[in-house]
Structure 1
Amino acid sequence: MTDEDDGSLSPGNHRRHTSAKKRQPGILVSALRSVFGYRKTSLSLFVITTIFVVVLVSYIDNSLLYTVDLPLDQVEKKLVDETWLDLQLISQHEHPYGSIANDEVHKYLENRINELIRGIDYIKYDNDLNGTNKILFEANSKPKIVTYYESNNLLVQIEGRDKTLPAFLLSAHFDSVPTSYGVTDDGMGVASLLGVLSYYSKQERQPKRTIIFNFNNNEEFGLFGAKAFTYHPWFKKVKYFLNLEGTGAGGKAILFRGTDYGIVKYFSKVRFPYASSIFQQGFSSGLVHSETDYVVYKEAGLRGLDLAFYKPRDIYHTAEDNIKNIRVQSLWHMLSNAIDFTKHMAENEIDDVGSNDSAMYTSFFNNFFAISSSQLIMLNLFLILVFPILNGLLMFYSVKSRKWVITWTMVLVLPLTIILAMFVTYFAVTNGFQEMNQFLPSSKPLLLVATTTSILLLLYSVFSTILNRIFHVASTDPKLLSIIVISFLYWVLLIYTTNGLANNAESMAHTGELFFTILFALQGTASFLGLLGWSLSGLSRKYLEEEEEEGEEEEEEEGGGRGRGGGGGNDEEPLLDGSVERYVSDGDDDEDENGDASGRRQHDKNPVKHLVQHFGYDWSLQYLLTVPVSLFLIYNSGWLVLDGVNKTMQESLSGETFVYGAIQVFSFSLIVPLIPFIHKLNRYMVFILIAVVLFGSAIISIEEPFNEQNPLKLRLLQTVNDDQSSSVEVFGREGVIYDVISKLPSVVKSSSSPSGNVKCSSIAEGNEICTYKTELIPNILPPGASYIDIKITNSKSSSYGINFNEVIIKAPKNRMCNLHFRKEEVKAIVIGNTTDIPPFKQIPNGYSYNNRKSHFYKDISGIEKLFLNKLDWEEPYNLAFYWLPSINDDSNLLNFTIDCFWADLAPVSRNNETLSAIPAYEELIKYTPNYVTWANKDRGLVSVSKSIAI
């Protein structure tokens, strides 16, 4: 064996070995290099860790159990126990406006209020002007709807020490829909109002500011109780309000929206703030179709907040909104926040600073952050101007001085790659997932997000590799170039947001886009640091490239060139690409993991490159700036949006389209912070992504979209004719109803072929109505009698003038009827005492009344619908119309339809027998699958119609 054959005996080799040992770094330095060096393994671990932490932190922040603690103070513990008992008693039965149970809840609340305020002379109770608060008003809608409403709100006033201060209003509604026990909507709001009243009834002194409580009725079908309060004398005292609501079923109560920054900023005073102005934007943009009393108070000129439970919508308004499905922490969350906000409002003077500005706000681990629209506009303008100037100058200098070599091809490849990946992903989602399992986002939205995000990452990597090879792109710093392009995209979004805030301040249509500011600031800062590093570099790009070329040539000669098939570390190849990109800022790839001697000799001969590679750790700072915070903001915001709206796809085709669009936007937004680093993810990450895509696609193709925890929500209305024939109409998304109702006992028995009894027809927005005849007549209707009796009295008509007719409508045990006029022929309506009423010309436009005995509403453009709501169960509806026949109508007839509704589910006693109130509804509850929940379609569960011509 020669010396050349045995390096261990060679003096030269021995000296080199000894020298190399001396130059080897210590354990600490090696560990730091391994963790923070720009290596594929390090980067992949960073990404996995970041994703895990982001998901975990978001879960904890949005969790009721981890962020809301029950009180330890004995006084507060007793208060929680009292309000929990109130909630249980309020929600024993369904209690819509048209039910006896509604009267029982009213009586319970009245007794509790009198019990709490007994002996306190500065607290007053009013039963809505002793039941005389009757109003007639027109809704701002098309068709034009006029509503008559008899109110029985329960009002409490805690008189303040300083009578010059405007009052603060607390409001919640005590009615439910016919199919729900109303625990969340809005039993917890009502119980919280009782809790706040109990708190103040035990205080040693009265508050500084007057506090008014409005326990209002009939919110569910028109916000009527809140509207009635605006006609009450106490309303004139109020300037601020807090509305407590529930549009979901339990969980955490979120700050839905606020009228202005000047009032929203005080939400920081509550102990468990939970808020996102994304929901405020959702309401403003019409994404959320339901409304709350908040809108009545805001339109009336008050300033305040809307605090509400918001999920899930498939349980909202169904029998599943019951005491079994909520936690006491949910009640305490709303109650404690209501107490804290009320205490601050009651004891402090509220200025008008920020009253003209909308608010952008969010919360994080019980910390509340808010900024006014004017402040955000100024901040955005600063960022929009400063970062492009600074980064533009640095980029110009770096490129001009040849310290950083980039081309237009390099710049254009990134957006082209993104467009291609998004296009293919859109096709995969809409023509793949949506076709395979249309309604799956209703129950598993995050499964689709994870699968779609993985597809995007893989496609981006594939297209990036292909385009780089086609156009021969060899960027010297692709990471920084990607950060700059992304910051430009955020810059465009920030301009859009700022323009929207400046030009649409009242609509609040852009108040959920607060995080665009943060995302752009982070990307802009990372771009600045990267460009600053290039501009301050004392080494010319040309020299470094020459050094690198020399090193590559020597590696080829020695057969140990990495990236050419030699050396170890195959597990650390760039994502879907075996080539190594050599650029200074990004360092080297997992160097010397296998103790490659040629790599050490390369370092010896290229000390400049060696130095730059080992000290090029700027990537970690750029990663920390652009990925963790950005990923959390995007994930948490996207999760809130999907968690709040994913059930709306059960309501309409437009809701479905929005949900699938939101999933794709959410998924794309998630990969944006990772784009600069995708090329450094190792092959194990590729395997993980492929596994997620395959597993996710398999689950999407076979998973049932509905289950007991995430049910299908259907709506129903039973219609009954005077001949006692009856049918049930079921409303829902197209294609899901027939299988649910075709096997009902009454459907099977009524026809030899169930398909012959069930008739389905398509309606707007991808919905359908399925109707079946049933012999299950509602027992809440009296047997053998006419359900609606109509009497026409005192008719006066003229071929060339205004006609006048009085109508008396009798409907047994009824509180709600609607009148639909054929055209806009009716010009004025009279409710109540119709004797001695003035001529048409003497009636003022709009609403007027005569000693609250006769109520008038006049609209010369015509009235198309009249909604009637009364408190007395047996008293008839006394109406009168002033109407003008159409020019082309020779019949001189007024044609209209009357629909009366019943909603009481309390059992009926008849002939010493207890009967189900609405057997057809009970059958649906009993015999349909457990993945189905039921809600009312209209103001009641039973409807009787009659057409009239006078």
Structure 2
Amino acid sequence: MNPKTILAFRPLSVTLLTVATYIAILGVLLYIHLVPPPVASRGELDSWGVDFDAAWQDLRVLTAEFRPYNARRNDDVRDYLLNRIEDIVKRNIDRGYKGVVRVVDDNETNITFTDERLNGLTVYFEGTNIIVYVVGTNPGLSPVLVNAHYDSVSTGYGATDDGMATVSVLQVIQAFTNPDRKQIQRGLIALLNNGEEDYLNGARAWAAHPLSNLSHTFLNLEGAGAGGRATLFRSTDAEVTKWYKHSKHPFGCVASGDGFKKGLVKSQTDYKVFTENLGMRGLDVAFWEPRSRYHTQDDDAKHTSKESLWHMLGTSLQTLAAATSDTTRRFDSEYGPPAGQGHTGVWFDLFGRAFAVLYLHTLFALTITLIVVPVIIMAVTMYFLYSANKLYYFSNTPLVPQPPDYSNLPHTTQGWRGLLRFPVAFVLATAAAIGMAFLIHKVNPMIAYSSQYTVWAMFLTLWWCVAWFVLRGADANTVRPTALGRGYAFIEQWLLWWVVMVVVAVSIDRAQLASGYWVLVTYTGVFLAAWISVLELVGLPPKNVTALLVSRASSDIGDDHAEEATEETPLFRGLGRPSTFGGYNRGAEEGEEEFQPPSGVFGKEQAWSEDLPTWVWIPQFLLAVPMPLIFTTSVALLLSSAINQTGADGTSMLFFYLLVAVFTTCILLPGSPFYHRISWIVTLSLFAVCIVTLIYNLSAFPFSDLFRLKVYFQQSINLETGKGEAYLVGHSDFVEGIVRDYIPSAFGKEVTSIPDPVRLGLKRTSWDAPPPAVVPGVEPSKWVHVQIFRLSETQIRFVIAPKESRNCKILFESPISDIVIQDRESKSVGQPVPPQGSMEVRLWSRQWDGKWTVNVKGEKEMKGKVVCMWADANDAHVTIPALWEVERFLPRWAVASKLSDGLVEGWWEWAV
């Protein structure tokens, strides 16, 4: 095969390169997204001094039962962790570690705090944190904090939330006290906090501990999913993010951090306390998918992997090694600006191997530069082409003289052809994708819960097919053939991305959002491809020369001295041109025309296009497709996996489908100028995929054994009467049917459904369930002993003593202005009572069967409720039979999670 033919802009070459590029890049990105890297070799593990097998065994111990703060199993886990830490430190000291290690069993820190955003809530909490301080060799450097929480929710075993982080911290302690490694210069504080699942109480207790003043930087390890890779969730600034660059398998991008900034992510981690309460700088690393297992019994060792554990542990070791060896003083508050300040960063990984970090102001400068400079470059280039009479774009220069009437040949350069093809294709394809978003949301809105990749396949193939059918009109043998179709598409697409760049610049300047970093890559590639399309016109003759050639050919035809013209007489005799006029030969019969393109002209495109270079499409493709595809798809996959299952939490799924529609457009748009040269066989195959996935997405049941719908359980009981009800909160299309059809105690009974007052967008379905027995052998009226005394006209005292619980709360119908927890040493974080007063006081004790004495000041007449919570579901068949019944008889495609702090709430009304 002729090498020129292989490189030419022809269907076979374009089809092969396009298909190979999309399959290769999308396949690699999906693999990296779904499959965590392998566990390190034995040699690498030994070099760190970690015992990976022991870490996996620790995870099994932690996840044997539920371990919420308000369950006795929580104390067992705490004792286990303390013993493991003491064994690790003692063993390494015996082996020759010379450094100083302090182990703090914190059973003393009590805190009272509030938050104005909590709308009048005061929390009293008694901490039970475990602290290990590995002192560095340079006492002038502040230590780095690494944090995980060892409690779980009451309905989850917590393998990734936060068991793997907890065992990773154990191995970090082992590695950084390893006598075979050089002692760290900047110290390390390892914190295992208790109570994160209940409004980050453990981290708030740490904020009141004296050691918290030593550290100004942190690495927080979390789990908001249940496996896969641990991603860099968010970061305070670029300087600390550079530590993460040392990870061998970095993963994540700044878009997740911006999601927290804009409130798109509702849940929080201890990162919030470290940054807002302590002014620290640091990183938040977490598992983030699949959310369907988050806070459920499916978050266990069986549903995760050793590879996931190593990804978090390995990343932690490598990041902390960089942090503790950083001897600069920029993270120490006594030098320069406060420790909580830094430069806003932009960060992202490439194929899970490389990691880029730059400053947001650098991104802004690049954005402005790319908005201004390419416009100047393009304007100057077009001016010189216009001056040289070679600007075939936007031209319809008449040929002088006109071709013979009988020839049916074009009478102009036809430079306007192809101008509107790309805009029409873009509008129709994008409109089709947006319309599909509304259709799926209307018919089967939750299908993305279990089938997000079939949804992606449907959107991608739909956009491709619609765009291809329109752009195919630029093919040389169909509607208005033109050699300028690719160039027009790139120029117009560049102008479209220019508008997007302005939006990105505004978002950086006004909102400090860096998520649009990938737009710069796409914009740059598209601009360069558009510029090449303009530059290739340099190879064409001036438009007046084209007319002169035609004129000379016409003169030859009318020469009296020439031999009699026949069908074989060359029209371009003296110029060495083909024996045709614009690529046409007279037909065998009078009036017929047969199209024979000149060499280098594709199909019926303009005859002058034979002078265009045939290979320039290759650099255009390489600039416009691969890198934009990598950057855009990486962001799209991360965001898609983060929100495709949020419909179970009450979020409208329309946002997800519109997001997919937008990113589908962004993924396929840069390659669209090549579509008209791609074989119809490819598009026919994709059309078949589109139809199949469309039928599936519209009709398939949205949940499965692997991706189960979360429903939220709670049972409420009046402690005076012993009467109460259980309820499930869940998606309005399914939760009532689940209760009616699957829960035995609800069969044939009245079932009540109302919009849930707490989880907006969900429905609460209640029924008369088997009563709880959270205090075995004791009737409900004796589960909590409550005494109320009036101390003065506006002051009252509560004495609350629950059984088998260490969590209660007092609700007030009118706000109180002062709170004092008696007989407890407590430190305030913020103000115990917000300016508008408190409507609720939450009480947490580290003791079982203890009591709280609470003095409050309010109005002369006060009333409300005392509510105590029970959250131990390890023996649910005995203590909470309604929950056991739900877990036992839920359909295979549904799973239970906790609704709030307590699985059972026992309440008692009061008035004084």
TM-score grouping bracket, smaller chain normalisation:
0.7 to 0.9
Q: Is the 8 A contact 1:67 1:366 kept in 2?
A: no
Q: In percent, how many aligned pairs have the same letter?
A: 22
Of residues 808, 812, 832 in structure 1, which corresponds to 2:822? 832
Q: Is the 8 A contact 2:104 2:131 kept in 1?
A: yes
CA distance 1:391–1:541, shift in 2 (3 Å): farther
- Aligned 1:6-25 pairs, distance under 5 A: none
Separation in structure 2 between the aligned mates of residue 428 and residue 549 of structure 1, nearest angstrom: 51
Separation in structure 1 between the aligned mates of residue 844 and residue 247 of structure 2, nearest angstrom: 38
What secondary structure is seen at the aligned counterpart in 2 of 1:864? strand
Q: Is the 8 A contact 1:832 1:855 kept in 2?
A: no
Question: What residue in structure 2 maps to residue 902 of structure 1?
Answer: 870
Moved more, 536-545 or 676-685: 536-545
Shift of 1:902: 0.6
Separation in structure 2 between the aligned mates of residue 745 and residue 63 of structure 1, nearest angstrom: 35
Question: What residue in structure 2 maps to residue 874 of structure 1?
Answer: 849
Q: Is the 8 A contact 1:832 1:854 kept in 2?
A: no
- Aligned 1:626-775 pairs, distance under 5 A: 626-654=624-652, 656-722=653-719, 723-744=721-742, 746-747=744-745, 753-754=748-749, 756-757=750-751, 759=753, 761=755, 765-775=760-770
Separation in structure 2 between the aligned mates of residue 443 and residue 556 of structure 1, nearest angstrom: 61
- Aligned 1:176-191 pairs, distance under 5 A: 176-191=152-167
The normalised TM-score by structure 2 is 0.86
1:555 aligned onto 2:558: no
Shift of 1:919: 1.3
What secondary structure is seen at the aligned counterpart in 2 of 1:861? coil
Q: Is the 8 A contact 1:91 1:183 kept in 2?
A: yes
Shift of 1:862: 1.4
Of residues 20, 23, 27 in structure 2, which corresponds to 1:49? 20
Q: Is the 8 A contact 1:778 1:920 kept in 2?
A: no
Question: What residue in structure 2 maps to residue 167 of structure 1?
Answer: 143
Separation in structure 2 between the aligned mates of residue 542 and residue 869 of structure 1, nearest angstrom: 89
CA distance 1:897–1:542, shift in 2 (3 Å): farther
Of residues 820, 835, 846 in structure 1, which corresponds to 2:811? 820
Shift of 1:112: 1.2
Q: How many residues align?
A: 841
Q: Is the 8 A contact 1:405 1:541 kept in 2?
A: no
Of residues 256, 271, 275 in structure 2, which corresponds to 1:279? 256
Of residues 430, 440, 444 in structure 2, which corresponds to 1:422? 430
Separation in structure 1 between the aligned mates of residue 104 and residue 598 of structure 2, nearest angstrom: 78
What secondary structure is seen at the aligned counterpart in 1 of 2:231? strand
Question: What residue in structure 2 maps to residue 480 of structure 1?
Answer: 487
Of residues 199, 206, 222 in structure 1, which corresponds to 2:175? 199
1:147 aligned onto 2:119: no
What secondary structure is seen at the aligned counterpart in 2 of 1:897? strand
Q: Is the 8 A contact 1:726 1:775 kept in 2?
A: no
Question: What residue in structure 1 maps to residue 267 of structure 2?
Answer: 290
Separation in structure 1 between the aligned mates of residue 579 and residue 117 of structure 2, nearest angstrom: 77
Q: Is the 8 A contact 1:247 1:316 kept in 2?
A: yes
Shift of 1:233: 0.6
Q: Is the 8 A contact 1:182 1:317 kept in 2?
A: yes
What secondary structure is seen at the aligned counterpart in 1 of 2:87? helix
Q: Is the 8 A contact 1:742 1:758 kept in 2?
A: no
What secondary structure is seen at the aligned counterpart in 2 of 1:457? helix
Shift of 1:308: 0.8
Question: What residue in structure 2 maps to residue 21 of structure 1?
Answer: none
- Report Cα offsets for 1:724-765 as digits up to 9, x if no partner: 2232111111111123222345325xx6x35x3454556674
What secondary structure is seen at the aligned counterpart in 2 of 1:896? strand
Shift of 1:465: 6.8
What secondary structure is seen at the aligned counterpart in 1 of 2:198? coil
Q: Is the 8 A contact 1:406 1:476 kept in 2?
A: no
Structure 1's unaligned 5+ residue stretches are: 1-26, 568-581, 592-598, 798-802, 834-848, 886-891, 909-914
Separation in structure 1 between the aligned mates of residue 874 and residue 153 of structure 2, nearest angstrom: 14
Separation in structure 2 between the aligned mates of residue 363 and residue 77 of structure 1, nearest angstrom: 28
Q: What is the one-letter code of the residue matched to 1:420?
A: L
- Report Cα offsets for 1:122-141 as digits up to 9, x if no partner: 1011122xx22001011241
Q: What is the one-letter code of the residue matched to 2:445?
A: Q
Separation in structure 2 between the aligned mates of residue 223 and residue 551 of structure 1, nearest angstrom: 82
Q: What is the one-letter code of the residue matched to 2:88?
A: L
Question: What residue in structure 2 maps to residue 444 of structure 1?
Answer: 451
What secondary structure is seen at the aligned counterpart in 1 of 2:67? coil
- Aligned 1:202-601 pairs, distance under 5 A: 202-203=178-179, 206-299=183-276, 300-352=278-330, 356-364=342-350, 365-399=352-386, 401-407=388-394, 411=419, 414-431=422-439, 433-463=440-470, 476-505=483-512, 510-535=513-538, 537-540=540-543, 543=546, 551=580, 555=584, 557-558=586-587, 588-589=601-602
- Aligned 1:81-96 pairs, distance under 5 A: 81-96=53-68
The normalised TM-score by structure 1 is 0.83
Q: Is the 8 A contact 1:146 1:867 kept in 2?
A: yes
CA distance 1:74–1:270, shift in 2 (3 Å): closer
Question: What residue in structure 2 maps to residue 893 of structure 1?
Answer: 861
1:33 aligned onto 2:39: no
1:921 aligned onto 2:883: yes
Moved more, 928-937 or 715-724: 715-724
Q: What is the one-letter code of the residue matched to 1:369?
A: A
Shift of 1:52: 0.8
What secondary structure is seen at the aligned counterpart in 1 of 2:634? helix
What secondary structure is seen at the aligned counterpart in 2 of 1:360? strand
Shift of 1:35: 2.7
CA distance 1:852–1:382, shift in 2 (3 Å): closer
Question: What residue in structure 2 maps to residue 936 of structure 1?
Answer: 898
CA distance 1:609–1:256, shift in 2 (3 Å): closer
CA distance 1:59–1:461, shift in 2 (3 Å): closer
Question: What residue in structure 1 maps to residue 555 of structure 2?
Answer: none
CA distance 1:44–1:742, shift in 2 (3 Å): same
CA distance 1:583–1:658, shift in 2 (3 Å): farther
Separation in structure 2 between the aligned mates of residue 410 and residue 289 of structure 1, nearest angstrom: 47
Q: Is the 8 A contact 1:726 1:777 kept in 2?
A: no
Shift of 1:65: 4.7
Structure 2's unaligned 5+ residue stretches are: 332-336, 395-415, 551-571
Q: What is the one-letter code of the residue matched to 1:636?
A: S
Shift of 1:709: 0.9
CA distance 1:780–1:77, shift in 2 (3 Å): farther
Shift of 1:857: 2.5
What secondary structure is seen at the aligned counterpart in 1 of 2:770? coil
What secondary structure is seen at the aligned counterpart in 2 of 1:188? helix
Question: What residue in structure 1 maps to residue 84 of structure 2?
Answer: 112
Shift of 1:632: 2.3
CA distance 1:630–1:559, shift in 2 (3 Å): farther
Q: What is the one-letter code of the residue matched to 1:56?
A: G
What secondary structure is seen at the aligned counterpart in 1 of 2:528? helix
CA distance 1:852–1:387, shift in 2 (3 Å): closer
Question: What residue in structure 2 maps to residue 136 of structure 1?
Answer: 112
